[in-house]
Amino acid sequence: MPIKIPEQLPARPILEGENIFVMTENRANRQDIRPLEIGIVNLMPTKIATETQLLRVLGNSPLQVNITLLRAEGHESRNTSHQHLERFYSTFSQVRHRTFDGMIITGAPVEQLRFEDVDYWDELVNIMDYALSNVHSTLYICWGAQAGLHHHFGIAKHALPAKLFGVFPHRVTTPNHKLFRGFDDVFMAPHSRHTEVRREDIANCDALEILAESDQAGVLVAGTRDGRNLFVTGHLEYDRETLDAEYRRDVDKGLPIAVPSGYYPGDDPARTPIMSWRAHAHLFYANWLNYIVYQETPYQLDAIVREQAPAS
């Protein structure tokens, strides 16, 4: 089954050109099926690129998925047109009466700021609190994962001596977890961040378990034991060219940046990057949609209830 998106969303022709099964709203409305309702809180400045990346991995599933794109109401985007935001995005105040099967909260390029100094922090806190009682499973990505771990469990983020940048091997530390069904013993995932959450802080939190990690990149995936809050410190959704674009942007700005590790053949930026994480990225999101969301969420969405926040 496909992912349902607005007919004029810029991601549609890109995904169709990649043979990703998408469905327009008109066709989906004629189907007699209860689709999954997934909200995407897109905090990235390059919103169209992030939409396309997430829709690509969410669309590779046998389930029909309705997407609601959400933006921070208290933040003015300088990289995405006002027309695009008005046409395709809702604000939290417009959807807070609804419930969702799943929600994704993306990263944002604000990781070197204190959480409380981010101009939409209070709004994001409201969204994260809302998700506890109105969303069956919430997937936090990169800075979003750091924000969720900080808010829900008081886990601090720490500055790294140099940017963690590249594609690194990981291992599943909870092999029987349904999120990692079908995974190989070792799988690759991109990272791009200046900060980290430390393994020992997560391991010392009884409410959390470490699900996948790397010797070089640290914890990749952690989650609450019921699967309703999942924290991904890397970027399985990234395209082949994403790290390349970040690298060239920083070089052009004269910023200190190393060649992304394990990314270019022979570490040569003149060569086409190797995409070594695509299959596991699709499998990860398909597993999340199927085993964590679809198999567990109540058929009647208004039956989703969370009585209290996760306890550390």
- Is 142 marked active-site? yes
- Is 235 marked active-site? yes
C-alpha pair distances (Å), 125 with each of 132, 201, 233: 11, 21, 19
Are 202 and 213 in contact by the 8 Å Cβ rule? The answer is: no
- Is 237 marked active-site? yes
Catalytic residue among 51, 123, 142, 152: 142
Angle of the 278-287 helix axis to the 47-58 helix axis, nearest 10 = 70
Catalytic residue among 177, 235, 280, 282: 235
Q: Other CB atoms closer than 10 Å to residue 221's CB: what's the count? A: 26
Phi and psi at 13, nearest 5°, equal -65, -30
Alpha helices in the chain, H assignment, sequence order: 11-17, 25-28, 47-58, 82-88, 92-95, 121-134, 143-153, 199-203, 242-252, 278-287
Cα distance between residue 165 and residue 194, in whole Å? 9
Are 111 and 192 in contact by the 8 Å Cβ rule? The answer is: no
Name the residues annotated as catalytic.
142, 235, 237
